[in-house]
Chains A and B, each alone.
Chain A
Amino acid sequence: MLSRVAESLFWMSRYFERAENTARFLDVNFNLLLDLNKITHVENPSYWIALILVTSDRERFNSLYEEYSAHTVTDYLVFNKSNPNSITSCVSLARENARSIIESISSEMWEQVNNLYHYLQSVTPQFVHTDPYGFYKEIKNASHLFQGITDNTFSHNEGWDFIQIAKYLERTDNIARLIDVKYHMLLSEAQNQAEIVEGSEDIIQWMAVLKSCSALEAFRKVYLSKIDPDNILRFLILDRTFPRSINFSVCAAEDALWRISGSSRHRYVNNADRLIGKLEAELSYTAIEDIYAKGLHHYLEDLEQRLVKVGEQVHLTYFAYHTPEIEPVDIEEALPFTGVAGGRAYWSQAQQHQQQQQQ
Chain B
Amino acid sequence: MSRFFERYEPETRHFFDEVIATEGAPRPHYDKMLQRFAQFSIDDIKARREIVNIFFRNQGITFTVYGEDEGVERLFPFDLIPRVVPAHEWLTIEKGLIQRITALNEFLNDIYHGQKILKDKIIPAELILGSQHFRREFVGINPPLGIYIHVTGSDIIRDRQGHYLVLEDNLRTPSGVSYMLQNRQAMKRAFPVLFDKYKIRPIENYPQELLRTLQEIGPVSRREPNVVVLTPGIYNSAYFEHSFLARQMGVELTEGKDLVVNNNKVYTRTTRGLELVDVIYRRVDDAYLDPLVFRPDSKLGVAGLVNAYRKGNVTLANAIGCGVADDKVIYSFVPKIIKYYLGEDPILENVPTWLASNHDDLKYILANLDSLVVKAANESGGYGMLIGPESTIEEQEKFAEMIVANPRNYIAQPTISLSRHPSFFNDTELWGCHIDLRPYVLYGKTVTIVPGGLTRVALKRGSLVVNSSQGGGSKDTWVVDE
Contacts and interface: CB of A to CB of B under 8 A. Distances in A.
Interface in B213-248: 232-237, 243-244, 246-247
Interface of B: 58, 60, 64, 66, 71, 232-237, 243-244, 246-247, 252-255, 257-258, 260, 268-272, 284-285, 288, 297-300
Given A2-B270, A357-B64, 20 more contacts: A2-B254, A4-B258, A96-B234, A100-B233, A102-B243, A107-B58, A107-B60, A319-B271, A352-B235, A352-B300, A355-B298, A356-B232, A356-B235, A356-B236, A356-B300, A357-B66, A357-B71, A357-B237, A359-B288, A359-B300
Contacts of A96: 234
A153 interface: no
A96 B243 CA distance: 15
Nearest to B295: A355
B233 A103 contact: no
Nearest to A1: B271
9 contacts: A4-B258, A4-B269, A96-B234, A103-B244, A107-B58, A318-B271, A353-B235, A355-B288, A355-B297
Most buried by A among B268, B270, B288: B270
A33 interface: no
Contact of B233 (A1, A3, A352): A352
Most buried by B among A110, A319, A355: A355
Q: Which 8 A-B pairs have the closest CB atoms?
A: A356-B235, A103-B243, A103-B247, A356-B233, A359-B232, A356-B232, A318-B271, A3-B269
B82 to A, nearest CB: 26
Contacts of A1: 270-272
Contact of A158 (B253, B255, B271, B297): B271
Nearest to B269: A3
Most buried by A among B234, B254, B271: B271
A1 B284 CA distance: 22
Nearest to A349: B257
Contact of A357 (B60, B235, B244, B270): B235
A1 B64 CA distance: 29
Interface size class of A (residues with CB under 8 A): 20 to 34
A260 B64 CA distance: 37
B149 to A, nearest CB: 19
Most buried by A among B234, B246, B284, B298: B234
A2 to B, nearest CB: 5
Nearest to B237: A357
Interface of A: 1-4, 6, 96, 99-100, 102-103, 107, 110-111, 158, 260, 318-319, 321, 350, 352-353, 355-357, 359
B238 to A, nearest CB: 8
Nearest to A99: B234
Contacts of A6: 271
A6 B269 CA distance: 11
B210 to A, nearest CB: 15
B298 A103 contact: no
Nearest to B283: A359
A3 B271 contact: yes
A213 B143 CA distance: 61
A43 B288 CA distance: 55
B271 A103 contact: no
Nearest to B298: A355
Nearest to B247: A103
Given A4-B258, A355-B298, A103 B253 contact: yes
A4 B255 contact: yes
A357 B58 CA distance: 24
Contacts of B298: 355
A353 B233 CA distance: 8
Contacts of A99: 234
Nearest to B231: A356
A102 to B, nearest CB: 6
Contacts of B58: 107, 111
Nearest to A114: B60
Given A321-B260, A352-B233, A3 B270 contact: yes
Contacts of A102: 60, 243
Nearest to A324: B273
Contact of A355 (B60, B66, B232): B232
A124 B466 CA distance: 40
